[in-house]
Amino acid sequence: MPSSQISGKAYHEATKHSYLSVQLDPNYVDASTQPSAFKVYPKFYRRVKLNLNNPVHSFISLTSTITLEKVYKDGPYKLRVNPSAGALYPTEVYVQIRGIEGMVDGIYHLEVENNCLTLIYELIDDGLENYIIPGKSINGFIFLISCVYYRSSWKYQNRSIRYCFLDSGHHLGAVAASASLYNRDIQLIFDFDKIALNSDLGFENKEFITACAVSGELENKKIRSLRLKVPFVSGTDYFESNQFIEDAYQATTLQKSRQHKLEYPQFDFDRDKFYQTIWNRRSIRRFRKEAISQEDYLYVVQQLQQSIPTENYEQLEIYSVVHRVEGMTPGLYKGTYLVKTGNFSEKTGYLCINQAIAKDSAVTLFFVSDYLNYQTAMQIAGFLGQRLYLTSNYMGIQCSGIGAYYDDETQELLETNKDVLYGMVIGR
């Protein structure tokens, strides 16, 4: 059967973990073979060094910037504003800039390692709009998120299709956080002609567009598609194809998402504190088994319930396994409704492939969905994951994402038939 006729649910089913599957394939890799994590265009391309004293530059930089460098025995790791499964960072960002003073109208690649914009395509009467919102012109910014999937599949094999989509959602969340900080509205768009855009951006089968975020003024004006193809540049120093991932992407790109009314979230974060939160966000690897306050926890839940600025939407439900929240009965909650009482800390630790953070946390959360478009649903899960990171860190609570869990057994604990898309933990 052609991949376009296979649902996203089939690809989710095919990448499930179980106790047996993990024992049979523990998935060890040789760290010295890791592909490069940064895409760089040839040196003769024009570059704009991002000046953090310039609000436009700072807005763009903060969507992807490196915030910490750690050195391990197998080499340095450059950690960024957006988390990534295994710190593999498969996502790239491209931004179309139109009508911004001091900037050439064009499509730029955000060169994260060197904190600069590389001009890869100069606009005339063409642009990205015709692929994304035909009949409109955007004076401002179009951010494209892409995945160089081999950076992830090198380690996680077929299941990396999940991590590519989740990481894409996290990256959209980083774009949204920077936009909020600089008082810019953004709209996330998931349903558009990604296949044609991949071709015209010269990605071959080595990279693919997952979503975009639009920020600027819309004008009723027809913009034609790119008049030329962008020359191909690989995002890794070597590449091994994975047909499962390529088929899964193709199938989930062609399916339509559910639609709903565009609404914008309303946050009341202190700007300076939120700026520091974005810079200092980290994935915690250990908890002290300490409680968090009910007030702080409910504030975090409230922020998760804020609107997501998109018309292409898949509804997610959030289950919380409360272990240590002052004034709250330990047990399983759906939202703030208590489903069943009990101490499930050992159970959640087991379900999350025996990761201690899942049992030592204050709360372990699971995002589930009965989706139409799997790609969109996973990205929304990642987007909400980024919001959870930043909101909990803003409140002095630590956070980490968990992409590995025993799928079917987790559904049994949650008493749901909906797919479990993501796990997360918060605590101290």
Dig out the tokens for 259 from the structure. Answer: 């639609």
Note the pLDDT of residue 70.
Answer: 81
Bridge partners (DSSP) of residue 188 are 213, 310
Which pTM was predicted? Answer: 0.96
Class of domain 3-14+31-254: alpha beta
Residue 140: predicted pLDDT: 98
The angle subtended at Cα 216 by Cα 214 and Cα 220, nearest 5°, is 95
d(CA 411, CA 13): 13
Which residues of the chain register pLDDT less than 50? Answer: 1-5
Please give the pLDDT value at position 7. 82
Please give the pLDDT value at position 204: 93
- pLDDT for the residue 1: 44
Give residue 71's pLDDT. 78
For the chain, where do the domains classified as CATH 3.40.109.10 start and end? Answer: 3-14+31-254, 283-427
Residue 341: the pLDDT is 98
Cα separation, 272 vs 394, whole angstroms = 11
Least Cα distance to 326 among 364, 374, 290, 279 occurs for: 290
At 2 the pLDDT is: 46
Spatial CA neighbour of 127 closest among 141, 112, 145: 141
* Helices 271-280 and 374-394, axial angle in degrees (round to 10): 110
The predicted pLDDT at position 22 comes to 84
Q: What is the pLDDT at residue 6?
A: 65
- C-alpha 385/C-alpha 296 separation (Å) is 17
CATH 2.60.40.10, domain 283-427, yes or no: no
